[in-house]
Amino acid sequence: MPELKLYHGVSSVCSVKVRIGLAEIGLGYDEVILDLQAGDQHAPEYLALNPDGVVPTLIDRDLVLRESSLIIEYLDREYNDGLLMPRGRAAEATARHWLVRCLAVHSAINTLTYATVMRQRIRETKDQHEIDGMLSRIPDPVAREKRRVLIEQGLDTPHSAQALGILRRTFSDMDRALRQGDWVSGPAFGLSDIALVSFIDRLWRLGLEGFWSRDRPSIGHWLAAMQARPSYESEVTGRIPEAAADEMREQGARHWPKLEAFWKRLEN
Ligand SMILES: N[C@@H](CCC(=O)N[C@@H](CS)C(=O)NCC(=O)O)C(=O)O
């Protein structure tokens, strides 16, 4: 059995992605849970492993692996005979494209999460001095500035339109894939499905399924199929604290009317 150690956040979408990958492959691991609200990701010992101060990070013996898409692909190749990678040059290229595309999808999910639920939580629990301190510890200047703007202005920034634009294109391409096979990866479940589910799950948890329920029902059916898998039960439902789940649904519902208006504007 490999000796794996995962540094992760319980509710973080990028961490959920890797946990689902580990569960699907059937790999055990030691874990170090980071409290992202408390700033554990900015501790010097963690920054030595992950200089961006983000989760997840996977340690496999002498190797430090970062980037959730790269981690799940590595695990599949190294410990699963690549069975989650679809066969054939074209299918493989498409799967890798989805893995890279997760960077943009994550950016959109990060915008919507921070502009709604996290903004509210941060403003309720921290004063301006603490917020400035928290921001100053984010190593990546682009991520730092985006976080500042979202905390200050919520959904009323160009980040919202960018996020929704990314999601519209993502849903459109997922829908096209899902019309051709049961999974985004093709006829068989695979890496693209694992890579995407935590993001779509986050939108669902925020009560934003209106983004796809009317125009792209294939996405709802795919999410239901993902939710029926044991990996979802063990890594998502079983691990995201109920209070966090309630908070997401509540904040998401509060912001839905504004988001729906933005969404409709994009349609025109
Ligand atoms: N592209 C990276 C993104 C990692 C990332 O941004 N993780 C978030 C959680 S989903 C994080 O650690 N945030 C902590 C922070 O921003 O301070 C990946 O997929 O691994």
Assigned domain for 8 exists: yes
Average pLDDT, the chain: 96
Q: Are residues 51 and 170 in the same domain?
A: no
Ligand 1 centroid vs 230 CA: distance in angstroms?
25
Closest atom of ligand 1 to CA, residue 69: 19
Distance CA 184, CA 130 (A): 42
- Average of pLDDT values for 176-191? 96
Model confidence at 268: pLDDT above 90: no
Q: Are residues 71 and 152 in the same domain?
A: no
Report the atom number in ligand 1 closest to the C-alpha of 138: 17
List all residues whose CB is within 6 A of at least one atom of ligand 1: 9, 12-14, 36, 41, 53-56, 67-68, 103, 106, 138
pLDDT digits (tens, 9 = 90+) for 185-228: 999 999 999 999 999 999 999 999 999 999 999 999 999 999 99
84-108 pLDDT, tens per residue?
A: 999 999 999 999 999 999 999 999 9
- Look at ligand 1, atom 12, and give the residue with the nearest C-alpha: 54
**Count of structural domains, the chain:** 2
* pLDDT, tens digit, 9 for 90 and up, residues 139-167: 999 999 999 999 999 999 999 999 999 99
Pocket test for ligand 1, best of 11, 33, 54, 126 (most atoms within 8 A of CB): 54
CATH, residue 26: 3.40.30.10
Q: Considering the domain boundaries, does residue 234 fall inside one? A: no
* Digit-coded pLDDT (tens) for 60-85: 999 999 999 999 999 999 999 999 99
Q: How far is the CA of 189 from the centre of ligand 1 (A)?
A: 25
Are 251 and 206 in contact by the 8 Å Cβ rule? The answer is yes
Centre of ligand 1 from the C-alpha of residue 179, in Å: 31
- From 79, 110, 140, the end of a domain falls on 79
Tell me, yes or no, whether 58 and 143 share the same domain: no
In this structure, are 74 and 96 located in the same domain?
Answer: no
Q: Which residue has the tokens 């013996």?
A: 61
CB contact at 8 A, 139 and 52 = yes
Residue 63's φ and ψ, nearest 5 degrees, are -105, 135
Q: Whose CA is nearest to atom 5 of ligand 1?
A: 54
Q: To test the ligand 1 pocket, which listed residue (17, 42, 106) has its Cβ within 8 A of the most ligand atoms?
A: 106
Looking at the fold, whether 126 and 257 belong to one and the same domain comes out as: yes
pTM across the whole model:
0.96
Would you say 231 and 24 are in contact if contact means Cβ atoms under 8 Å apart?
A: yes
Pair 21, 194: CB distance under 8 Å: yes
Q: Is residue 122 part of a domain?
A: yes
H or E element that contains 76: helix 68-79
- Report the separation in Å between the CA atom of 54 and the middle of ligand 1, taken as the mean of its atom positions: 4
Q: What is the pLDDT of residue 71?
A: 98
Residue 267: name the closest of 212, 221, 217 by CA.
212
Q: By C-alpha distance, which of 77, 82, 46, 49 is closest to 63?
A: 49
Domain that holds residue 211: 89-229+240-267
Looking at the predicted structure, is the pLDDT value of residue 232 above 80?
Answer: yes
Residue 113 Cα to ligand 1 middle (Å): 12
Q: What's the 92 CA to ligand 1 centre distance in angstroms?
A: 25
**Which residue's CA is minimally distant from atom 20 of ligand 1?**
67
CA of 268 to the centre of ligand 1 (A): 33
154 lies in some domain: yes
Predicted local distance difference test score (pLDDT) of residue 267:
77
Can you state the angle between helices 68-79 and 13-25, rounded to 10 degrees? 10
**What is the residue with the minimal CA distance to atom 15 of ligand 1?**
54
Please give the number of the atom of ligand 1 that sits closest to the Cα of 67.
20
